Structure 1
């Protein structure tokens, strides 16, 4: 249940061609303790908010207002913001951060801040979005959605786009599963991340150097939830550990599989089928495993190689010293 009034849903669906984004100028440098709602309303001036608007705010000014600015460098702060390193290429580290986001340097930013200082991401972006939404409702009486954004790179593509790291009062996914396209094809997994699309649309209007940290998107009232219903937040878009196909970078995956530490198991995902594991062992070693109980037996193959393959596929490897040759027994993790 979205909690959206039917009339809003119909109106929003009918007016998608009339979407507008406004990024007001005139916002001063934001400091710790500043009132973001007041800054936004002042910047808007005579351009009042309306029910169904979506207010978009950069994470940087949220962090500044909440006092999440530190002296030092990104390198100094990175360990405290990192849950694990996903990939490393020279000085660049892609990490899974304390927020669950996978980003370069955990989203720590050294731009648009005083020299010698860095800005960390908000402690709880969804909570920050909820607070701003409630404050705007109290002061203006209007029902808006709120999105907090940050800039992120993307796998397989150059350049960056803004994404939502916090949200309140807004649908974050727009599911088309179960619907049929104009050609009669069933839409099975089509689910646009509309909250990220809103973040990117706002960034085009805000720019990077224009000192316009706020934007208001109008024309998608169908996505805005009823007052008091904040929805799941942007954190709902974060895939749980192990459900992403790319839990480690290519080099790091090899190293982690060879090391075989239990703490590194989750990013490799759910255990593979016995058929998938057998195919991988055959492809790498040239030796076809033999069924053995619930698992597999691999004869005359390098045990270290077989163990790494088993680990990467969510299985465990045991040595069988009863035979003269090198024999490995592969068992499901739960066995």
Structure 2
């Protein structure tokens, strides 16, 4: 790895609606600011702008809760319509919990894509309407690939794209950004066979490269700052056909299932 890199916000991006061309918007914004993308640049993009442009949103006024949603909503004091949407995005509910000091509890769910996260990543923050819920993109890896190909074609260089979301973490407080969609960027980089600073061989070291990028992007990607695209420059990384599933532990390796 190099001794240094740069990380910067792409400012001046608009609010997005369904059908907007996100790739062209990024190109136009860079052009307006007399900027360009270079060989090896990586863009980390907040999933919400991807979801909005792809129309991955639900309006509560259009949702009729099932009996299961109504009963589960009582456990966590949530709107049954929101619970219905969460169930529609989930393989299973891992845990439903509401502490006495909470007005509204949380549903820890296994999302259809395999992520374990709060409320199956169904969220209201940065939604355009009071009753709008934003979902994850239908296929985040495909979304990342399409964006990457468009940007590469325009700037005539090899790039990487990571789509991120904000997750909580078991046994630790606070949230951090994680990678949910990848194009060209490795999810995990194996260091098997390399040596540490003292010459000892590494046997299990495998940095979650895409998650590290996503987490770092959170330092600049403020929800209130309208800065959903973060540019990383100066990193050495191997281009690879990757998938966000590379970061999900398989069921037979899950010690807590």
The reply to whether TM is greater than 0.5 is yes
Question: Structure 1 length normalisation: TM-score?
Answer: 0.66
The count of residues paired between Structure 1 and Structure 2 equals 228
User: Which residue of structure 1 aligns with residue 45 of structure 2?
Assistant: 57
Q: List aligned pairs for 1:1-335, cutoff 5 A.
A: 13=1, 16-44=2-30, 45-72=33-60, 74-90=82-98, 91-113=105-127, 114-220=129-235, 222-225=236-239, 231-247=241-257
Alpha-carbon displacement from aligned partner over 1:46-86 (angstroms, at most 9, x marks no partner) = 12100100011111010000000110153230110110111
- Partner of 1:96, secondary structure, is strand
Q: More helix per residue: 1 or 2? A: 1
More moved, 79-88 vs 120-129:
79-88
Structure 1: runs of 5+ lacking an equivalent: 1-12, 248-335
- Which consecutive unaligned segments of at least 5 residues does structure 2 have? 61-80, 99-104
- Bigger Rg, which one: 1
Normalised to the residue count of structure 2, the TM-score between the two structures is 0.85
Distance of 2:196 and 2:153 partners within structure 1: 42
Corresponding residue for residue 7 of structure 1: none
Displacement of 1:184 after TM fit? 3.0
- How much has 1:224 moved relative to structure 2? 4.6
Deviation at 1:176, TM superposition (A): 1.3
Higher relative contact order (CA 8 A, sep 6+): 2
**2:217, 2:29 → 1: CA distance?**
16
Match of 2:74 in 1: none
Within 2, Cα distance between the matches of 1:246 and 1:37?
A: 40
Q: In the aligned structure 2, how far is the partner of 1:242 from the partner of 1:180?
A: 29
CA contact (8 A) 1:74 1:105 kept: no
Counterpart of 1:258? none
Structure 1 residue matching 2:227: 3-state secondary structure: coil
| Distance of 2:256 and 2:175 partners within structure 1 | 19
Please give the root-mean-square deviation of Cα atoms over the aligned residues, in Å.
1.4
